[in-house]
């Protein structure tokens, strides 16, 4: 048997129980009618061709501008990887399938195109489920391609054969199984279109192994004989031959591989004029931007210009962090709840009234609320229960904001309103700085570490946030330097995104410093990707806030139940783990600001050639006291 098929039996055997199964299939297809009324004709194929389905996959990806494909190898998908390589698409293999999808997610967010991952059947695909669900909730356009058992072996106990479609249909905007080689191109074009249209999200295409490999190999593995002896073997042989030939019928006919048009909902002129009318009458407006506002087709810099033209104070969340730069007078980072209480107009631009806005309860019921979102269910989340929109628009948030900016004219926000919000912001920033100087036991104050990092981040840095308590603190202190320079999991709150996100980010922005801000709990999910960083020469820097605890959980569990069961970790040598995978490790547990700065400087220098992990042993503070994780 050919080991690359990863099965221990032919695609279809022709003896014993296998014969009986084939005969059953023949009966199911009303074989008598086929035999006596249509004769023994089968589809015509080029039996000498060495081409395979993987080539068609690569052609479609190349035509759609895909530069990278993330994977963990498997025999089911080898033709896809080989063909991508031949087309100049970089094949990046990770140490866990979930990180392949996280990497594709980062590429989708930073490049404005579809991120692509390909994994093998069965456990290869089940390992991606968390990342696909995360992408669904984060609205990231991802194409996941997965291997599957051969078409004639489905449901018959083949290696890694499970019902994969039932897993991915609820998670994906589009899910399809390839049934003929000729279906590969049109199916992938539809999938890539669906991933980017409307509210972006993941799509899934399943590839049975016999639609990817060359005809002569599939024919041989199917057990097709040249001259079988006896009526029954001849009938079975005919059935299998017919099936295989139909798989390859028309496979190499010329097909259009260009991208299909993407459907993006745009605001109508009446939507724009109604929004302008509400804003023009306001004195204390605020804008809350979510990740959806950074999606194509509006360029992030164009959106930034529009917001600066509007002059309305902005709170930025998710991928919108950094949109206004490091020190914009319009960007308000702190005391959002107080601002929403006082505002007379609130623009929810891709921001959803879920747990992050206390389901809408933080909105003042006297405020006029303009909500815009591509997804109707997200647009109206908890509406008329805890909040009520004055104007709800199902459209692209960035397109609406640009149109409002162009239509609003001479509108100017009350200066005192802006000063009030900025004063509150600065007061909180100073309080955070003071808190950073407090002792934190025998180890470093985590806020001090983060404040020093904030001063050392380069202007082209990208921040990947992966953790609980330490990362929650980082969100208050670190300031992304520009648009699309902050990556966090999004609404699903998934731990473990760090390695994959950093991998995708470094490929998209090879000249940027990519920093992973890890908690010591979360870093263990993807620290093995330091091997991937090393092998593919993609150096990143990871900072681990190591307090030997799942502090986000312990913070509420201990006061509530009086025990830290399940929450304790150890001050493990994560720096040495990184070194074992080919990186460079630093460990710091005490010292002055100068000592911390020196470690960061050394890490930045080493990172030019190798991935770096800084294992920072930190103590406890009450900075986030009262925060909850449910």
Tens digit of pLDDT for each residue in 295-350?
Answer: 999 999 999 999 999 999 999 999 999 999 999 999 999 999 999 999 999 999 99
pLDDT in the model for residue 103:
98
pLDDT in the model for residue 544:
98
What is the DSSP code string of 74-118?
-GGGHHHHHHHHHTT-EEEE-SSHHHHHHHHHHHHHHHSS-EEEE
pLDDT in the model for residue 248:
93
For residues 62 and 87, the answer to whether their CB atoms sit within 8 Å is yes
Of all residues in the chain, the percent with pLDDT exceeding 90 is 77
Q: What's the CA gap between 445 and 435, in Å, rounded?
A: 9
Beta strands in 124-200 (DSSP E): 142-148, 174-177
Question: What number is the average pLDDT over the span 576-592?
Answer: 96
Q: What's the CA gap between 7 and 70, in Å, rounded?
A: 24
13-53 pLDDT tens trace: 444 455 455 555 545 444 434 443 343 444 567 777 889 99
pLDDT in the model for residue 120:
96
Q: What's the CA gap between 51 and 165, in Å, rounded?
A: 27
2 pLDDT higher than 80? no
| Dihedral of the alpha carbons of 336, 340, 343, 344, in degrees to the nearest 10 | 150
> What is the average pLDDT score of the chain?
90
Confidence of residue 629 (pLDDT cuts 50, 70, 90): low
Question: What number is the average pLDDT over the span 267-278?
Answer: 97
Confidence of residue 241 (pLDDT cuts 50, 70, 90): confident
429-475 pLDDT tens trace: 898 888 888 888 899 999 999 999 999 999 999 999 999 999 999 99
pLDDT in the model for residue 21:
53
Residue 537 backbone phi and psi in degrees, to 5: 55, 55
pLDDT in the model for residue 628:
59
Give 321's contacts (C-beta < 8 A, 6+ positions apart).
480, 485, 486
Question: What number is the average pLDDT over the span 158-185?
Answer: 93
Q: For tokens 């967010």, name the residue.
A: 109
- H/E stretch holding 1 reads none
62-110 pLDDT tens trace: 999 999 999 999 999 999 999 999 999 999 999 999 999 999 999 999 9
Range scoring the smallest mean pLDDT among 99-108, 210-219, 618-627: 618-627
pLDDT in the model for residue 233:
81
Which candidate, 622, 472, 471, 496, places its Cα nearest to that of 555?
A: 622
Of all residues in the chain, the percent with pLDDT exceeding 70 is 92
Tokens of 313: 């104070």
For residues 202 and 140, the answer to whether their CB atoms sit within 8 Å is yes
For residues 334 and 355, the answer to whether their CB atoms sit within 8 Å is no
Q: What's the CA gap between 296 and 396, in Å, rounded?
A: 9
Which regions of the chain carry the CATH code 3.40.50.1220? 269-420
Across the chain, how many H-helices and E-strands are there? 25, 17
Q: What's the CA gap between 473 and 435, in Å, rounded?
A: 12
Higher pLDDT, 415 or 145: 145
473-514 pLDDT tens trace: 999 999 999 999 999 999 999 999 999 999 999 999 999 999
Burial of 163 from C-beta contacts in 10 A (0-12 / 13-18 / 19+): exposed
pLDDT in the model for residue 83:
97
pLDDT in the model for residue 45:
72
Structural fold of domain 269-420: Rossmann fold (3.40.50)
**Full-prediction pTM beyond 0.75?**
yes
Which candidate, 471, 520, 518, places its Cα nearest to that of 498?
A: 518
Higher pLDDT, 237 or 33: 237
For residue 151, the Cα-to-chain-centroid distance in whole angstroms is 30
532 pLDDT higher than 50? yes
Question: What number is the average pLDDT over the span 552-564?
Answer: 92
6 pLDDT higher than 70? no
Pick the CATH number of 437-617 from 3.90.550.10, 3.40.190.290, 3.90.950.10, 3.40.50.970: 3.40.50.970
369-423 pLDDT tens trace: 999 999 999 999 999 888 999 999 999 999 999 999 999 987 889 899 999 999 9
Q: Helix %, strand %, coil % for the chain, to 5?
A: 45, 15, 40
pLDDT in the model for residue 25:
52
Confidence of residue 627 (pLDDT cuts 50, 70, 90): low
52-213 is classed CATH 3.40.50.970: yes
Which regions of the chain carry the CATH code 3.40.50.970? 52-213, 437-617
- CB-based burial, 39-62: b 16+ in 10 Å, e otherwise: eeeebebeeeeebbbbbbbbbbbb
pLDDT in the model for residue 390:
96
Question: What number is the average pLDDT over the span 203-220?
Answer: 94
């Amino acid at each position: 048997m050919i080991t690359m098929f990863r099965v221990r039996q032919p695609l279809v055997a022709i003896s014993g129980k296998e014969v009986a199964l084939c005969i059953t299939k023949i009966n199911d297809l009303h074989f008598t009618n086929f035999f006596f009324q249509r004769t023994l004709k089968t589809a015509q194929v080029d039996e000498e061709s060495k081409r395979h389905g993987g080539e068609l996959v690569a052609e479609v990806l190349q035509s759609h501008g895909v530069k990278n494909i993330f994977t963990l190898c498997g025999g089911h998908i080898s033709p896809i990887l080989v063909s991508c390589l031949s087309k100049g698409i970089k094949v990046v293999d990770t140490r866990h399938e979930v990180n392949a999808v996280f990497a594709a997610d980062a590429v989708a967010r930073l490049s404005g195109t579809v991120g692509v991952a390909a994994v093998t059947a069965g456990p290869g695909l089940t390992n991606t489920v968390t990342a696909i669900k995360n992408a669904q909730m984060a609205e990231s356009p991802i194409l996941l391609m997965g291997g599957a058992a051969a078409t004639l072996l489905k449901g018959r106990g083949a290696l890694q054969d499970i019902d994969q479609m039932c897993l991915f249909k609820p998670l994906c905007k589009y899910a399809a199984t390839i049934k003929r080689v000729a279906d590969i191109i049109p199916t992938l074009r539809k999938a890539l279109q669906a991933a980017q249209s409307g509210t972006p999200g993941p799509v899934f295409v399943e590839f049975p192994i016999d639609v990817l490999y060359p005809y002569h190999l599939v024919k041989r593995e199917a057990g097709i004989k040249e001259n079988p002896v006896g009526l029954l073997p001849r009938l079975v042989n005919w059935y299998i031959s017919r099936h295989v030939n139909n798989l390859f019928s028309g496979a190499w006919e010329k097909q259009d591989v260009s991208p299909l048009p993407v459907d993006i909902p745009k605001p109508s002129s009446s939507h724009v004029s109604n929004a302008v009318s509400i804003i023009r009458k306001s004195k204390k407006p605020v804008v809350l931007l979510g990740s959806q506002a950074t999606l194509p087709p509006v360029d992030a810099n164009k959106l930034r210009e529009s917001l600066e033209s509007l002059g309305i104070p902005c709170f930025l969340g998710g991928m919108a962090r950094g949109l206004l730069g490091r020190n914009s007078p319009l960007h308000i980072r702190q005391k959002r709840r107080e601002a929403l209480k006082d505002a007379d107009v609130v623009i929810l631009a891709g921001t959803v009234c879920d747990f992050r806005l206390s389901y809408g309860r933080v909105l003042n019921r006297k405020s006029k609320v303009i909500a815009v979102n591509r997804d109707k269910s997200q647009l109206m989340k908890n509406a008329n229960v805890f909040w009520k929109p004055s104007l709800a628009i199902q459209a692209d948030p960035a397109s609406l904001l640009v149109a409002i900016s162009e239509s609003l004219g001479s509108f100017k926000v009350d200066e005192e309103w802006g000063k009030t919000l900025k004063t509150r912001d600065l007061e909180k920033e100073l309080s955070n700085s003071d808190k950073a100087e407090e002792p934190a036991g025998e180890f470093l104050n985590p806020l001090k570490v983060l404040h020093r990092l904030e001063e050392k981040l380069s202007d082209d840095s990208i921040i990947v946030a992966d953790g609980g308590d330490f990362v929650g603190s980082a969100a208050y202190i670190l300031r992304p330097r520009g648009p699309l320079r902050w990556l966090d999991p999004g609404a699903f709150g998934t731990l473990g995104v760090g390695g994959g996100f950093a991998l995708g980010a470094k490929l998209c922005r090879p000249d940027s410093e990519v920093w992973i801000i890890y908690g010591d709990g979360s870093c263990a999910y993807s620290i093995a990707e330091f091997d991937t960083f090393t092998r593919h020469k993609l150096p990143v820097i990871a900072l681990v806030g190591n307090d030997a605890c799942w502090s986000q959980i312990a913070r509420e569990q201990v006061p509530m139940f009086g025990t830290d069961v399940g929450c304790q970790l150890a001050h493990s040598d994560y720096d040495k783990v990184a070194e074992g995978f080919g990186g460079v490790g630093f460990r710091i547990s005490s010292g002055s600001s100068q000592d911390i700065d020196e470690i960061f400087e050394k890490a930045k220098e080493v990172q030019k050639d190798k991935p770096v992990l800084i294992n920072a042993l930190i103590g406890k503070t009450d900075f986030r006291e009262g925060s909850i994780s449910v």
